[in-house]
Amino acid sequence: PSSTEYKKLDPDRLLTGRPTANIFAQHANFDHAFLKDHIFNPSKTFTILRSPVSQFSSAFSFFEITKLYPADTFEESLKLFFSSHMHDKYLINTYFCKNCAMMVNANSIDMGLNIEEYFKSADQDKYLSNFLEQASQTWDLVLITEHFDLSLVLLKRRFCLEFEDILYLRSLERTKKDKVEDPSLLAKI
């Protein structure tokens, strides 16, 4: 693929002249059927997950949700967010909070979980169990952001790569000022 929009894979944006791609590296919601139709098979799949607390805090900062809940510190802004009745209302009535965008369950949603189908399901435990079973059959390797260097070594070994294949430069790294330390706030996240 030449490009995709985050959250949506669009067949009109694929490179033309080739029936399939040999690599797909994009931040988008996983759509197994789409990729199966457009990526060379048999393909290897891997993804990267992040601590839900780290993911939520990062998205809260990146999407500037702090502007909706102004406070002297990042932690205080988070506390205002969680004390907001609108937050609870959106979570109960719409399956996600309008002001948190896709910060809630972001890892699961990125891996293809349809959050609305999940909440509307008559048997949520079974729905989630089926999703997890499918995920375990889909992914050849799951990397962990908080252990990125070690994850890259596992990636190198699993897919017989060279060290030059896993070299990287950090970018868009959050500043330490957005760190959350309050135990009760961490539990809410």
Q: Which pLDDT band, with edges at 50, 70 and 90, does 106 fall under?
A: confident
Extended beta strands in the chain, E state: 46-49, 141-144
Answer whether residue 5 shows pLDDT above 60.
no
* pLDDT tens digits, one per residue of 33-70: 777 777 766 678 888 898 888 888 887 888 788 888 89
Q: What is the mean pLDDT of residues 114-134?
A: 90
Q: What is the pLDDT of residue 103?
A: 62
The number of beta carbons lying within 10 Å of the beta carbon of residue 42 is 5
Answer whether residue 107 shows pLDDT above 60.
yes
* Of residues 11, 52, 3, the one with CA closest to residue 31: 11
> Do 113 and 49 form a contact (C-beta atoms < 8 A)?
no
pTM of the model: 0.71
Q: Is 76 exposed, middle or buried (0-12, 13-18, 19+ CB in 10 A)?
A: middle
Average pLDDT, the chain: 79
* Of residues 10, 7, 49, 3, the one with CA closest to residue 30: 7
